[in-house]
């Protein structure tokens, strides 16, 4: 019962969010601000995680296929496909759900419990749209960029470990990452990421927007935001993978 | 003028407002007094539509506010300025950006014109040279004053203040009270102030209503309140030992 009530509330909030903006110029400014706080500020974590994961997949794949019959460029192929198909979309989204989801929901939740949202409403501002829409736009545009970044950096991480630790000959690795390359893997990843961005921002905003009480509840709502958006990202992954790849 | 007619509000099974009717007059400082938890904040928020009421009507200058749709309500809200109990300044914006926000949102003025208005409002509440500070860097009294400056930035027709001087020293409290009264008279605003401070009542109460457990028990002027026969109000007014001593004399 509670589930359906929450679901109803969620979609009601979305209809408020997608109302016509009062003033485009201000929304534009807000969106730029969100691109900075949600997108650009996540560069670091995406780069670090992707470099390491790219390197680790390279080592592990090489370890697993140590068979003279298998050519060593297969390592490059595997690294590329793992990153493109799953890691740089879904895993990066899960990392971002933790970073961005909690920050969105605690920001909006704090505004709720300190009556800042009421203050917006009183002025005649559509608070849901004003606070959430710029975040959605920023994330939907910027998550794909982060995902592409993760692909490049991850593949580079694999190359780096080849050079440093002599896992497979770097030239074989380079050959491998170009071998049997399907460009639609990238569009597949980007499509998924756009959905993930929408899920993470709206679910986290929802939990913040309906926070009540004090600091404790704001903390709880941001935990819920991370958990729920992560689960929904995984569910969406399943559904989208089935839809797109079959 | 704001008319409240037979308004009731429940949270679950608890009745928080019980059939409240009152007229708040233009150009006057109308006070809502009552002890903590009596329903003052809920009444104020119900009037401006932050709480949906269960029964009754609310009229803003002959416009039936709670019967209007979202869009029409928004038009009336642009005529409302409100100071919240905790000031509710935007944390991530400076003092200047806070006061400028309503101007950004609802006017097409140039930055210079807006800045001029912002500085005028800030000067009006005796805050100068603090434009670049963030709310976290302000004292409680300064926050309230910036809250008032933001509330009056768009020249409101209705001003709501929820406990403008709670948590302040008596002197600063009186300063803020007088500021509200001055603004009210200067711009002929309909002002409603929540308070449980008898100082405010004596200083600025043009019209006073007394809320007790969600019901309106009494209304009158600050002069009449001293001679009331109503027991609950008497207890409230003369709650402090100082007041009791003065009364005995
Ligand atoms: N959102 C809410 N949900 C449930 N009950 C509430 C809510 N807001 C207020 N109440 C209840 O309504 C009653 C009146 O609260 P209100 O905040 O109006 O008191 P108040 O007169 O403003 O007190 P104070 O002077 O301390 O600010 C209280 O008993 C409170 O518990
Ligand atoms: Mg209150």
What region does A229 belong to: left with phi over 0, alpha with psi -120 to 50, or beta? alpha
- Rounded to the nearest angstrom, the distance between the alpha carbon of B94 and the centre of ligand 2 is 26
Chain A, window 90-119: residues with a beta carbon less than 8 angstroms from a chain B beta carbon: 110-111, 114-116, 118-119
pLDDT band with cut points at 50, 70 and 90 for residue B237: confident
- pLDDT at residue A239 in the model: 95
Cβ-contact A39, A139 below 8 angstroms = yes
- Rounded to the nearest angstrom, the distance between the alpha carbon of B126 and the centre of ligand 2 is 25
- pLDDT at residue A42 in the model: 93
Contact assignment for B105 to A123 by CB distance below 8 Å:
yes
- pLDDT at residue B233 in the model: 84
- Rounded to the nearest angstrom, the distance between the alpha carbon of B188 and the centre of ligand 1 is 30
- Rounded to the nearest angstrom, the distance between the alpha carbon of B194 and the centre of ligand 2 is 7
For A115, the closest of B80, B84, B105 (CB atoms) is: B84
Q: Nearest-CA distance from B45 to chain A in Å?
A: 9
Cβ of A22 under 8 Å from any chain B Cβ?
yes
Q: Is the CB of B241 under 6 A from ligand 1?
A: no
Q: Is the CB of B36 under 6 A from ligand 1?
A: yes
Contact assignment for A116 to B50 by CB distance below 8 Å:
no
Residue of B18, B37, B50, B87 with the most ligand 1 atoms within 8 Å of its CB, for mutation: B37
Q: How many helices (H) and strands (E) does chain B have?
A: 10, 10
Nearest to A148 by CA among A39, A36, A15, A24: A39
Q: What is the pTM of this model?
A: 0.90
Domain-embedded: residue A19:
no
For A23, the closest of B50, B84, B105 (CB atoms) is: B105
- Please name the residue ranges forming H helices in B70-187: 70-77, 95-106, 111-124, 140-152, 170-187
Contact assignment for B84 to A123 by CB distance below 8 Å:
no
* Consecutive H or E run containing B12: none
- pLDDT at residue A84 in the model: 92
Q: Chains A and B: how many Cβ contacts under 8 Å? A: 51
Contact assignment for B105 to A26 by CB distance below 8 Å:
yes
pLDDT band with cut points at 50, 70 and 90 for residue B226: confident
Number of domains in chain A: 1
Nearest to B187 by CA among B144, B155, B147, B151: B155
Angle at B14 between CA B10 and CA B17, to 5 degrees: 50
Q: Which of B65, B70, B105 to mutate to test the interface with A (most CBs of A within 10 A)?
A: B105
Q: What is the residue with the minimal CA distance to atom 17 of ligand 1? A: B41
Cβ-contact B146, B87 below 8 angstroms = yes
- pLDDT at residue B201 in the model: 87
What distance in Å separates the CA atoms of residue A71 and residue A63, rounded to the nearest whole number?
13
Contact assignment for B91 to A114 by CB distance below 8 Å:
yes
Structure tokens at B50: 């932050």
- pLDDT at residue B223 in the model: 86
- Rounded to the nearest angstrom, the distance between the alpha carbon of B92 and the centre of ligand 1 is 28
Residue B191's φ and ψ, nearest 5 degrees, are -115, 135
In words, the CATH class of domain B2-79+158-248 is alpha beta
What distance in Å separates the CA atoms of residue B147 and residue A114, rounded to the nearest whole number?
13
B42 CA closest ligand 1 atom index: 18
Mean per-residue pLDDT of chain B: 90
What distance in Å separates the CA atoms of residue A77 and residue A70, rounded to the nearest whole number?
12
Question: What is the rounded average pLDDT of the residues B113-138?
Answer: 93
* Consecutive H or E run containing B82: strand B80-83
Cβ-contact A109, A221 below 8 angstroms = yes
What distance in Å separates the CA atoms of residue A106 and residue A91, rounded to the nearest whole number?
23
Q: Which of B42, B47, B74 to mutate to test the interface with A (most CBs of A within 10 A)?
A: B74
Question: What is the rounded average pLDDT of the residues B82-89?
Answer: 92
- The partner residues of B8 in beta bridges, in order of sequence, read B55
Torsion angle of alpha carbons B74, B78, B81, B84, nearest 10°? 30
Tell me the per-residue pLDDT of B1-10, one tens digit each, with 9 for 90 and over: 999 999 999 9
- Please name the residue ranges forming H helices in chain A: 2-17, 24-34, 43-64, 74-82, 92-96, 102-113, 116-122, 127-165, 170-178, 184-209, 215-245
Residue B6's φ and ψ, nearest 5 degrees, are 50, 45
What is the three-class DSSP state of B170?
A: helix
Nearest to A151 by CA among A180, A184, A189, A181: A189
Task: Sketch the domain layout of chain B as residue ranges.
Answer: 2-79+158-248, 88-155
Q: Is the dihedral of CA B12, B13, B14, B15 positive or negative?
A: positive
What distance in Å separates the CA atoms of residue B108 and residue B99, rounded to the nearest whole number?
15
Q: Running DSSP on this structure, what letter comes out for residue B66?
A: G
B39 CA closest ligand 1 atom index: 18
Cβ of B159 under 8 Å from any chain A Cβ?
no
The total of other beta-carbon atoms located within 10 Å of residue B231's CB is 9
- pLDDT at residue A68 in the model: 78
Tell me the per-residue pLDDT of B15-67, one tens digit each, with 9 for 90 and over: 999 999 999 999 999 999 998 999 999 999 999 999 999 999 999 998 999 99
pLDDT band with cut points at 50, 70 and 90 for residue B131: very high
Partners of B97 on chain A (C-beta within 8 Å) are none
**B242 pLDDT exceeds 90?**
no
- Interstrand relation of B215-220 and B207-212 (parallel, antiparallel or unpaired): antiparallel
Structure tokens at A177: 């990452």
Q: Running DSSP on this structure, what letter comes out for residue A21?
A: P
- Interstrand relation of B55-60 and B80-83 (parallel, antiparallel or unpaired): unpaired
Q: Is the CB of B46 under 6 A from ligand 1?
A: no
Residue reference for tokens 């829409």: A133
Nearest to A94 by CA among A34, A53, A131: A53
Order of all β-strands in the sheet with B2-11: B14-24, B2-11, B55-60, B63-64
CA closest to B71 among chain A residues: A124
Q: What CA–CA distances, in Å, run from A113 to A46, A103, A116, B46?
A: 32, 15, 8, 17
Per cent of chain B over pLDDT 70 is 98
* Consecutive H or E run containing B25: none
Question: What is the rounded average pLDDT of the residues B148-162?
Answer: 94
Nearest to A157 by CA among A78, A75, A53: A53
pLDDT band with cut points at 50, 70 and 90 for residue B69: confident
Q: In chain A, which residues have pLDDT < 70?
A: none
What distance in Å separates the CA atoms of residue A122 and residue B52, rounded to the nearest whole number?
14
């Amino acid at each position: 019962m509670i589930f359906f009530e929450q679901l109803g509330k969620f979609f009601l909030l979305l209809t408020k969010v997608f109302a016509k903006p009062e003033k485009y110029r201000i929304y534009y400014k807000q969106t730029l601000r969100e691109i900075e706080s949600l997108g650009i500020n996540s560069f670091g974590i995406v780069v670090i995680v992707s470099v390491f994961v790219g390197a680790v997949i390279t080592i592990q794949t090489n370890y697993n296929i140590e068979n003279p019959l298998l050519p060593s460029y297969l390592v490059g192929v595997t690294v590329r496909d793992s990153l493109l198909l799953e890691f740089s979309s879904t895993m990066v989204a899960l990392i971002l759900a933790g970073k961005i989801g909690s920050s969105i929901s605690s920001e909006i939740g704090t505004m709720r419990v300190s009556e800042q949202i009421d203050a917006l409403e009183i002025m005649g501002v559509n608070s849901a749209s004003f606070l959430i829409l710029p975040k959605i736009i920023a994330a939907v545009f910027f998550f794909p960029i982060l995902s592409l970044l993760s692909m490049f950096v991850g593949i580079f991480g694999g190359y780096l470990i080849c050079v440093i630790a002599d896992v497979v000959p770097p030239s074989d690795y380079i050959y491998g990452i170009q071998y049997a390359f399907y460009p639609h893997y990238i569009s597949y990843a980007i499509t998924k990421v756009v959905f993930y961005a929408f899920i993470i921002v709206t679910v986290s905003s929802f939990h913040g927007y309906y926070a009540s009480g004090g600091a404790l509840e704001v903390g709880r709502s941001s935990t819920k935001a991370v958990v729920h958006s992560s689960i929904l990202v995984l569910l969406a992954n399943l559904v989208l993978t089935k839809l797109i790849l079959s | 003028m704001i008319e409240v007619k037979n308004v009731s509000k429940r949270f679950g099974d608890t009745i928080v407002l019980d059939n409240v009717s009152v007229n708040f007059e233009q150009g006057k400082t109308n006070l809502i007094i009552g002890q903590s938890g009596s329903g003052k904040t809920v009444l104020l928020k119900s009037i401006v539509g932050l709480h949906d009421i269960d029964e009754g009507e609310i009229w803003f200058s002959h416009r039936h506010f709670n019967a209007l749709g979202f869009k029409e309500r928004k038009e009336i809200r642009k005529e409302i300025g409100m100071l919240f109990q905790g000031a509710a300044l935007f944390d991530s914006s400076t003092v200047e950006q806070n006061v400028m926000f309503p101007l950004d949102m609802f006017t097409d003025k140039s930055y210079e014109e807006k800045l001029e208005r912002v500085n005028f409002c800030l000067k009006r509440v005796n805050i100068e040279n603090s434009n670049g500070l963030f709310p976290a860097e302000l004292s409680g009294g300064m926050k309230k004053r910036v809250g008032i400056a933001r509330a009056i930035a768009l020249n409101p027709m209705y001003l709501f203040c929820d406990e403008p001087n709670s948590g302040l020293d008596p002197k600063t409290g009186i300063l803020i009270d007088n500021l509200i009264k001055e603004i009210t008279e200067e711009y002929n605003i309909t002002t409603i102030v929540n308070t449980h401070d008898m100082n405010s009542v004596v200083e600025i109460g043009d019209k006073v209503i007394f809320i007790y457990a969600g019901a309106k028990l009494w209304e009158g002027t600050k002069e009449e309140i001293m001679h009331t026969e109503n027991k609950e109000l008497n207890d409230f007014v003369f709650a402090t030992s100082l007041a009791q001593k003065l009364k005995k004399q």
